[in-house]
């Protein structure tokens, strides 16, 4: 049974706080572009963009990166293949932009690495920052998030899943023990 560790309210609050931190760090939202990774990262990026727009009255472009893991639901260390970029649609030029990469969960860092490559292929951004809703630890690469919604120390036998209203009908962050066979 998945246990809800962060409820909808706290999740919304974490996103709002990350939005404020993005404004703080970038001294405004000039030249900011958001890039959401695959399904849930996109919704989170869109929500941050929406908050930025409400606050600063300026539209922030949101790009989409589709990176699929060997199997999308297997966020565990038994996966031996690296994530592959399937498709990226930006619809805007990222050159000289401050790109903020948005994902739901930061785990090994391999997805982020693939995303960095994909972004670099598109142009030369001024900088890339990483925003994640949950940092669950267990990094295998020298990657660190700049904006973290919540640090959740986990064991490798657990799985973290973020649910978003647009897709799952509810908001929340859930922790589940993986079946060990």
Partner 1 sequence: MKRYLILEDGSVYEGEAFGAQEVTTGEVVFTTGMTGYQEAITDQSYANQILTFTNPLIGNYGVNLDDCESLQPHCKGVICREVARVSSNWRQQETLPKFLEQMGIPGLKGIDTRALTKKLRVHGTMKGSLINSMDDYEHAFDQLKATVINKDIVSQVSTSKPYPNPGSKRNVVLVDFGVKHSILRELAERNCNTIVLPSSATAEEILQLHPDGVLLSNGPGDPKDVPHAIEMCRQIQEKLPLFGICLGHQIFCLANGADTYHMKFGHRGFNHPVREIATGRIAFTSQNHGYAVEPDSLKDTDLIVTHQEINDGTIEGVRHKYYPAFSVQFHPDAAPGPHDAVDLFDDFMDAMDKRKEEQNA
Residue 19 or 111 with smaller CB distance to partner 1: 19
**Closest approach of partner 1 to the CB of residue 133, in Å:** 14
**Closest approach of partner 1 to the CB of residue 102, in Å:** 16
Picking from 43, 71, 164, the residue whose alpha carbon sits closest to that of residue 173 is 164
Residue 26 or 68 with smaller CB distance to partner 1: 26
**Closest approach of partner 1 to the CB of residue 90, in Å:** 25
**Closest approach of partner 1 to the CB of residue 146, in Å:** 11
Which residues have C-beta within 8 Å of that of residue 133, sequence separation ≥ 6?
Answer: 11, 14, 15, 18, 44, 103, 104, 105, 149, 150, 162, 173
Residue 24 or 117 with smaller CB distance to partner 1: 24
Distance CA 63, CA 94 (A): 9
Residue 28 or 71 with smaller CB distance to partner 1: 28
Angle, to 10 degrees, between the axis of helix 8-26 and the axis of helix 38-56? 60
Binding site for partner 1 (CB under 8 A): 9-10, 12-13, 16-17, 19-21, 23-24, 27-28, 51, 54-56
Rg for the chain, CA atoms, rounded: 16
């Amino acid at each position: 049974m998945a246990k809800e560790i962060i409820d909808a309210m706290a999740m919304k609050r974490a996103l709002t706080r990350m939005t404020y931190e993005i404004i703080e760090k970038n001294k405004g939202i000039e030249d900011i572009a958001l890039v959401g990774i695959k399904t849930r990262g996109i919704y989170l990026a869109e929500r941050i963009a929406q908050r930025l727009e409400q606050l600063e009255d300026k539209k922030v472009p949101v790009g989409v990166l589709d990176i699929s893991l060997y199997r999308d639901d297997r966020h565990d260390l038994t996966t031996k293949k690296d994530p592959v970029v399937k498709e990226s649609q930006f619809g805007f030029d990222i050159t000289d932009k401050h790109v903020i990469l948005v994902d739901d969960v930061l785990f090994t860092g391999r997805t982020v690495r693939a995303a960095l490559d994909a972004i670099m292929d598109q142009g030369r951004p001024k900088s890339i920052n990483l925003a994640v809703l949950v940092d669950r630890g267990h990094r295998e690469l020298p990657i660190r998030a700049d904006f973290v919604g919540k640090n959740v120390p986990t064991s490798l036998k657990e799985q973290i899943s973020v649910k978003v209203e647009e897709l799952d009908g509810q908001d929340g962050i859930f922790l589940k023990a993986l079946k060990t066979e």
